[in-house]
A = this chain, B = another copy of it.
Amino acid sequence: MDFTPAGELQNRISGFQAMLGEKQIDGALIIQAADLFYFSGTAQNGHLYIPAQGQPVLMVRKSFSRACEESALEDIVLLTSIKKLPELIAEAGLSVPRVIGLEMDVLPANTYLFYGNIFKDTKTVDISPLIRQARQVKSPYEITLLRESGRKMAQVFREVPSMIREGMSEVELAAKIEGLARSMGHVGYISMRAFNQAVFGHLLSGWSGAVPSAFDGATGGIGLTPFFPQGCSLKTIGRNESILVDYVGLWDGYITDQTRFFSIGPLPANLMNAFETALRIQDAMIERLKPGVNGSEIHELALDMAAEAGLADNFMGFGADRARFVGHGVGLELDELPVLAKGLDVQMQTGMVFALEPKFIFPGEGAVGIENTFVLTEKGAEKITTAPDELIII
C-alpha cells in the first residue's frame, strides 16, 4: 500500500489555505473520510483542522497508530474526546477560529449542532463548496492512480464476453465480473457524497435496462430487493437484448467509471441506431472539450444531437425519470465536480477528471450508449478507460 507523499499533501493544503484566506475563513475542520484522506493521507477516524495560515493538526480517535503510519503530516495527536477539539487546536499553537468551515453538505445535523456548542463564540460556515472545488482538479500524482484504475478496468472488461451465457441471471454475471475485479484488488466499496446514494455497479439486460430507480443516473435496474431497488436482478439474460455493464473501477482509492454493451446475437435496429448515435455524441463532446469551455455547452451539444437523431425523449432516461446531466467528476468519490449539465456554469480546466455517459433508454426494450472517464489536458479530453467502445456481439 502506497501512502500519499508529503509534498502532495503540502500542495493540496496550501492551495486550500489560499481559498480559506480569500473567503476570510480562519480554519476548516475536516471529518468526512474522503476529504480527510485527501488532505491528510489517512482515513482513520480523525478530525483535521486546517488553519488559513500555519500547519494543520490531525486529531485521531481510532486508530491513532495507523494514522501516524499512513499520514505524512507532522502534527498528529490523540483525540480522547470531541470536546477537546478547541483545546488541542490551541495546544498546536493555533488560535481558536472566529469563523470555522464545516462540511455542511455531509455532516449529520446533530454532529453539526454539537460542534456549534463546542466552538461557542465561533461562526460556522459551509466549507464543502471550497473542498469540492479544490478536489475537482487532479494532480499528476492523482492522474497516475486514475490511469491505473482505468487500465485495470479494461483488463476486467476484456473477460466479460467469455462470461456471458444465454439464460444466466443478471446477478450471476455480476458475481463473475465483480469477483474478477475483486480478485485483482478492487476495493469493493464505492464512496458517494450525496445523501442516500449508493451504487455497486449496474448490470442490466433487455427491459431491465429501462427500469428507473432512486439512483441519480440514466439507468436504474430491477435490483434484488425493494430496499436497494437498482442494479442486477434475478432476470435471465436472453438473445438480442442489450446487456449493459456499468462498473466503477476502484484501485488505490481512485475511481474510474465506464459502461460497455454486449449482446447475444444482434440488437434490434432502433437500439443499434441509438448506440451509434451515442458514439457520435461522445465524439462530438470530445471534439468540443477544451480547457476554458463551459461544461453546460457540452450537455447542450449532447441534447441537440439526441434531438436531431429523433431521440430526445429517450436521452438519459424516459418521462419523469431522467438524469439531468451528461457527465460527472470522479476521483475518491463517484459524484465529484464538475457536473456537466445544461444551465450549470462550470469552466473546464486541465486536470479535471470526469465521466461522460450519453445513454438512451427505451421502456420495455432496454438501454444503450457509452460511458468513459476522461482527463482534461491542454490538448483536450483524453480517455483513460481504455477498453474498446464497440458493442460486442457474442
Chain A 27-59, CB within 8 Å of chain B: the 1/0 string?
000011110010001111110000000000000
Instruction: Classify chain A's interface size.
Output: 35 or more
Contact A185 B224 (CB under 8 A): yes
Q: Which of chain A's residues 161-202 have a Cβ closer than 8 Å to chain B?
A: 171-172, 174-176, 178-180, 182-183, 185-189, 195-196, 198-200
The number of times this chain is found in the oligomer is: 2
Q: Chain B's nearest CB lies how many Å from the CB of A186?
A: 8
Contact B63 A220 (CB under 8 A): yes
Taking CB atoms, residues of chain B closer than 8 Å to A1 are: 222-226, 233
What residue of chain B has the Cβ atom nearest to residue A38's Cβ?
Answer: B227
A110: Cβ under 8 A from any B Cβ:
yes
Interface segment, A131-139, A207-215, A291-299, A373-381?
A: A207-215
What residue of chain B has the Cβ atom nearest to residue A234's Cβ?
Answer: B185
What residue of chain B has the Cβ atom nearest to residue A182's Cβ?
Answer: B175
Interface segment, A98-106, A303-311, A386-394?
A: A98-106
Taking CB atoms, residues of chain B closer than 8 Å to A41 are: 226
**Contacts A43-B214, A63-B212, A108-B107 known; A252 to B228 CB distance under 8 Å?**
no
Distance between Cα atoms of A224 and B176 in the complex (Å): 20
Q: Chain B's nearest CB lies how many Å from the CB of A195?
A: 5
Contact B196 A33 (CB under 8 A): yes
Taking CB atoms, residues of chain B closer than 8 Å to A44 are: 213-214, 229
Taking CB atoms, residues of chain B closer than 8 Å to A225 are: 1, 187, 251-253
**Contacts A107-B109, A175-B183, A226-B43 known; A31 to B214 CB distance under 8 Å?**
no
Contact B32 A66 (CB under 8 A): no
Contact A227 B63 (CB under 8 A): no
What residue of chain B has the Cβ atom nearest to residue A213's Cβ?
Answer: B63
* Given A1-B223, A108-B108; 7 other pairs, CB 8 A cutoff: A33-B196, A108-B195, A109-B109, A171-B182, A185-B224, A187-B225, A227-B332
